[in-house]
Amino acid sequence: MTEARRFALTPGEPAGIGPDLCLLLARAAQPHALVAIASRQLLAERATQLGLDIALLAVGPGAWPDAPAPAGSLYVWDTPLAAAVVAGQLDPRNAAYVLETLLRAGNGCVNGDFAGMITAPVHKGVINEAGIPFSGHTEFLAELTHTEQVVMMLATRGLRVALVTTHLPLRAVADAITAARLERVTRILHADLQDKFGIASPRILVCGLNPHAGEGGHLGREEIDIIAPTLARLRAEGLELIGPLPADTLFTPKHLEHCDAVLAMYHDQGLPVLKYKGFGAAVNVTLGLPIVRTSVDHGTALDLAGSGRVDTGSLQVALETAYQMTAGSRQAV
């Protein structure tokens, strides 16, 4: 039997569906101890709104659980709100609360209280409206753990896609793809596929930047000048890298059948395919951190908060992936 471990679960934006997902998930037992870092009052009120009978079990520093919570119950590290929450209605006064839950989870992973953290969606806009500069979970956790370079990877069953660049305007992407950046991202992807996913010799397919991977330089020279030479240097060290390949044909069964991950050059090159294949059952993984962090692949869905009409599929995959990453399982998504 696998030894039970302890994980932090952050519900994200309190007016969104994150609290709903945590409560719906608690109806069934998990194989590990999940600690929701949230307002106990918020969860109790949302449970009433959803018509759920979930026992909220108080835990915290000095009183951590060692065993999974029984079905129909949820461990909660109570974190106070600044203002009452109405499902579906954003309130900048609770922005600091959201960041406090992330801070507690991240520090808990660093100091060993948690084996990893799973995050529900936050609303970046309302946090910034509160006067707090915030660009996302990934950047927040990178700063918290003093990590210079992290890599965003989304995964669903049968496909993993990592990104060289993330949230950049399209006109800025080409300038951001430097040999140094590509090398750092590729090394992080390769190392975490080995260390956190248990893949001894990862096989990575690499997209070109331009249509037809540059068409021999006629549609752009980034492949010739930057991507191909960088991959060649890394191959000389033993990394199994295939590419640069045209993105429009890379995402086909012939190529994907024997690969462990795809490395895309920019956000909308790789993620539309991933989300078409697995939306609602995909997970966002932050690679390069000294801790394990996974997340759902969707947003706060304010219009569905408190309705009961939400799908826990992505959160369940995020949980399963975190469990597997901390065990170094070869069966990870």
Annotated binding site for substrate: 137-138, 275, 284, 293
The closest alpha carbon to 140, from 115, 104, 181, belongs to: 104
The one-character DSSP state at 53 is: -
CB-CB contact of 204 with 261 (8 Å): yes
Show Cβ contacts of residue 272 under 8 Å, excluding neighbours closer than 6 positions: none
Q: Give the three-class secondary structure for 19.
A: helix
Q: Give the three-class secondary structure for 204.
A: strand
Binding residues: 137-138, 167, 212, 267, 275, 284, 293
The closest alpha carbon to 285, from 201, 204, 196, belongs to: 196
Using alpha carbons only, give the angle 294, 295, 298 rounded to the nearest 5 degrees: 155
Distance separating alpha carbons of residues 71 and 311, to the nearest angstrom:
18
Binding residues for a divalent metal cation: 167, 212, 267
Distance separating alpha carbons of residues 78 and 42, to the nearest angstrom:
10
The one-character DSSP state at 226 is: I
The closest alpha carbon to 92, from 203, 7, 15, belongs to: 15
My answer on whether omega of the bond before 244 falls inside 30° of 0, hence cis, is: yes
The single residue listed with the structure tokens 């090398």 is 183
